[in-house]
Structure 1
Amino acid sequence: MKNRRRGHGDLEHEILAVLAAADAPLTPAEVRERLDAGLAYNTVTTVLARLQDKGRVTRRPAGRAYAYRAVRDRAQVVAHQMRRLLDDDSDRSAVLTRFVGALTPEDEALLVALLHRAEPDQT
């Protein structure tokens, strides 16, 4: 991968591929080593932090650093993105009202069923 200019998003995809192929979470140094030792450590940590913000990876403390793992469940990634969008707006009621108003009747029924299932027993 040396001597080649990466396109937009290529490094994210390469890092995700390295994490997905790993049997255990990897530190930024381990990702850098498996990908391209010529990359700056700070570049790898920046991309990993962005991937974590997007919900594409999870992290856990590992000594003085973090160890990262790729999120394999697409639904979890999308749910994280939806939550971030909701958190970015100060008028949650308006956002949720418009979201629910745009749902198909089938999706609305599914959402109602999920909300009922999530309610604690009132007995």
Structure 2
Amino acid sequence: MRRLGDLEAEIMDRLWRWRRAATVRELVDDINLVRPVAYTTVMTVADILHRKGMLRREKAGRAWMYQPLYSREEYTAGLMREALGHTEDRQAALMRFVERMSPEDVEALRAALRSTGREGSL
């Protein structure tokens, strides 16, 4: 799973926060509250995200409704898996990652391992 570009991330962030399908018009109107962006630009990027398998779309009248195929958490987990795939020494990479974690994040990792039945793993 690859990292998102700036506008891709803006679109995905809104759809993840809204937790519902949205039209390009809704996305454009919301982004334009922060910065100007053209309707055609958002339409193109939403179509690209659809072709990349990040969004599903359904026709609603004349408009497309876009909705994420993955949750923000699934996307983040995919990035983490991909990052680990770039090293020859996964154990060392994981050790460096854990060494830099806050105590709260370490506890969250322990809780995640417990909830998946891997509590003895950490």
Cα-Cα RMSD: 2.1
Q: Which runs of 5+ in 1 are unaligned?
A: 1-7, 79-123
1:35 corresponds to which residue?
31
- CA distance in 2 between counterparts of 1:59 and 1:35 reads 20
Q: CA deviation at 1:23?
A: 3.1
Tell me the TM-score normalized by structure 2.
Answer: 0.51
The structure 1 segments of at least 4 consecutive aligned residues displaced by more than 3 Å after TM superposition are none
Q: Does residue 66 of the first structure (1) align with residue 64 of the second (2)?
A: yes
Q: Which is greater in Rg?
A: 1
- Which whole-Å deviations, capped at 9, do the CAs of 1:43-101 have from their partners, x for residues lacking one? 000000000000000000111110000122549xx8xxxxxxxxxxxxxxxxxxxxxxx
1:25 corresponds to which residue?
21
1:56 corresponds to which residue?
54
Q: Which runs of 5+ in 2 are unaligned?
A: 79-122
- CA distance in 1 between counterparts of 2:11 and 2:19 reads 14
Tell me the TM-score normalized by structure 1.
Answer: 0.51
Identity %: 35
